[in-house]
Chain A
Amino acid sequence: MPPEEGMTPIVRNTTRLVSGFIVVFGTYIALTGHLGPGGGFAGGVILAAAGALVVLSFGRRVSSSLITEPTCHVADAAGAAGFLALAMLGYMVGGFFVNFLPVGRLHRLDSAGIIPLANLAILVKVGAGLVGAFLALSAFRPGRRSVLDDGTADGRDGRREI
Chain B
Amino acid sequence: MELLIVTLIGLMLIAALAAVEARDLLSSVICLGAAGFSLSVIDLLVGAPDLALTQVVVEVVALVLLIRVVVTRRDTSSSAPRDALRTGAVLLAGGVLLVAAAFSVGVFAAGKAGVIPPFGQPLLAGKGPVAPGVSKDYLGKAADETGAANVVTAVLLDYRAYDTLGEATVIFASIIGTYAILRHVGRREAPADAPAGGAKGG
Residues of A bordering B, CB below 8 Å: 3, 29, 33-39, 41-42, 45-46, 48-49, 52, 56, 73, 76, 80, 83-84, 87, 96-97, 99, 103-107, 111-115, 118-119, 122, 125-126, 129-130, 132-134, 136-140, 142-146, 149, 161-162
Contacts and interface: CB of A to CB of B under 8 A. Distances in A.
Interface of B: 49-50, 52-54, 57-58, 60-61, 64-65, 68-69, 72-73, 143, 145-150, 152-154, 156-158, 161-162, 164-165, 168-169, 171-172, 175, 178-179, 182-184, 187, 189-190, 196-199
A83 B145 CA distance: 21
Nearest to A135: B182
A87 B165 contact: yes
B61 A130 contact: yes
Nearest to A77: B172
A143 B73 CA distance: 13
B61 A37 contact: no
B150 A37 contact: yes
A125 B157 contact: no
A42 B199 contact: no
Contacts of B69: 137
A128 to B, nearest CB: 9
A111 B149 CA distance: 9
A156 B102 CA distance: 57
Contacts of B52: 37
B175 to A, nearest CB: 4
A39 B57 contact: no
B75 to A, nearest CB: 13
Contacts of A96: 162
A104 B65 CA distance: 41
A125 B174 CA distance: 12
Given A97-B162, A129-B172, A39 B156 contact: yes
Nearest to A53: B64
Nearest to A125: B168
A133 B175 contact: yes
21 contacts: A35-B149, A36-B150, A37-B52, A37-B53, A38-B150, A42-B54, A45-B58, A46-B57, A49-B57, A73-B179, A103-B145, A106-B143, A111-B149, A112-B148, A113-B147, A113-B158, A118-B161, A130-B61, A136-B179, A137-B69, A138-B68
A145 B53 contact: no
Residue among A36, A37, A113, A138 with max Cβ neighbours from chain B (10 Å): A37
B179 A34 contact: no
Contact of B153 (A84, A115, A132): A115
B65 A115 contact: no
Contacts of B182: 136-137, 139-140
Contact of B57 (A34, A42, A112): A42
A56 B161 CA distance: 35
